[in-house]
Amino acid sequence: MKFVRKIVKNGAGTYYISIPKEIMKELGFRERQKMNVRQSGKRIIIEDWK
């Protein structure tokens, strides 16, 4: 699957990107679920928080 998304900045300086619902469903992610976000080189890795 390939989706194109724009990066959006809120007023406080935080950036957001939306995750397509198909990916959320496939990975079993839920709204308000805690996630680990880390950088690996030029990639951003989002993983379930345990």
Domain residue ranges of the chain, discontinuous segments joined by + = 22-50
Q: Do residues 45 and 39 lie in contact, with contact meaning Cβ atoms separated by under 8 Å?
A: yes
* pTM, full prediction: 0.72
- Parallel, antiparallel, or unpaired for β 35-40 and 43-48? antiparallel
Please give the Cα distance from 30 to 21 (Å, whole number).
10
Given this model, what pLDDT does residue 2 score?
A: 86
- Tokens at 20, concatenated: 């397509």
pLDDT tens sequence across 1-50: 789 999 999 988 899 999 999 999 999 999 999 999 999 999 999 999 98
